[in-house]
Homo-oligomer: A and B are copies of this chain.
Amino acid sequence: MDSVKWLLATRNPGKIRELRIILADARIDIVGLGDLGIDEESPESGKTFLENAMQKARFYYERAGIPTLSDDSGLEVDALNGAPGIHSARFGGFKTHEEKCAYLLGLLAEVPKELRTARFVCAAVFHDGHEYISAEGSLEGFIGDRPVGDLGFGYDPVFHPEQDGPSTAEYGTEAKNAISHRGRAFRALVKGLEEAGRLP
């Protein structure tokens, strides 16, 4: 049986590689937005990660015409009532990851170690024009008191899965994919697709 082609709504080659590994046993050929020549940006006006991921899946499905996988993710900090949350990418109006991390550390300067709990959350969605199948994944951890490591991106340098352990910017790609909110969401989604009989 031939493989079928699905879109992963991203331009990040690392994310495409990661999903190909997760889907290694399925006969699915994962392509990215660049492979299909799609350069439009989906709006992200949802109130939750799931709404944003669904919005992206619909937007790109309408352009690609093939089953589409998408995700939305961010950081939730308990001492900030869940902020930055869906505003993670534009937190405080800052452009660079370094500024967003510094701003977050400033916001939390007076928050003691035991109350600096946080989690990375990811919603992953499958859409084929008819139905949406979704799953969430998260990675619990703690916000440190300074940026550490240079392997990750976003909030990785200030996020520690274990309170006194390395930051996620000190994890290698494989170790990080194994525990990441994104890896967990997509593995759960694939399991859901399997149970629904939607994997070829």
Interface residues of A (CB under 8 A from B): 92-94, 96, 98-109, 146
Which has the most chain B C-beta neighbours within 10 Å: A99, A103, A106, A146?
Answer: A106
Which chain B positions have C-beta within 8 A of A92?
102, 105-106, 146
Q: How many chain copies does the complex carry?
A: 2
CA distance A93 to B109 in the complex (A): 13
CB of A156 to closest CB in B, whole Å: 15
Q: Chain A at the B interface: mostly helix, strand, loop or mixed? A: helix
CA distance A167 to B99 in the complex (A): 18
Which chain B positions have C-beta within 8 A of A146?
92-93
Which chain B positions have C-beta within 8 A of A104?
106
CB of A40 to closest CB in B, whole Å: 29
Which chain B positions have C-beta within 8 A of A105?
92, 103, 106
9 shortest interchain CB distances as A-B pairs: A106-B106, A102-B102, A99-B102, A102-B103, A103-B106, A106-B107, A93-B146, A98-B99, A107-B109
Nearest-neighbor residue (CB-CB) of A99 within chain B:
B102
CA distance A200 to B55 in the complex (A): 74
CB of A101 to closest CB in B, whole Å: 8
Beyond A92-B146, A103-B103, 17 additional pairs, beta carbon < 8 A: A92-B105, A92-B106, A93-B146, A98-B98, A98-B99, A98-B102, A99-B101, A99-B102, A100-B102, A102-B103, A102-B106, A103-B106, A105-B106, A106-B106, A106-B107, A106-B109, A107-B107
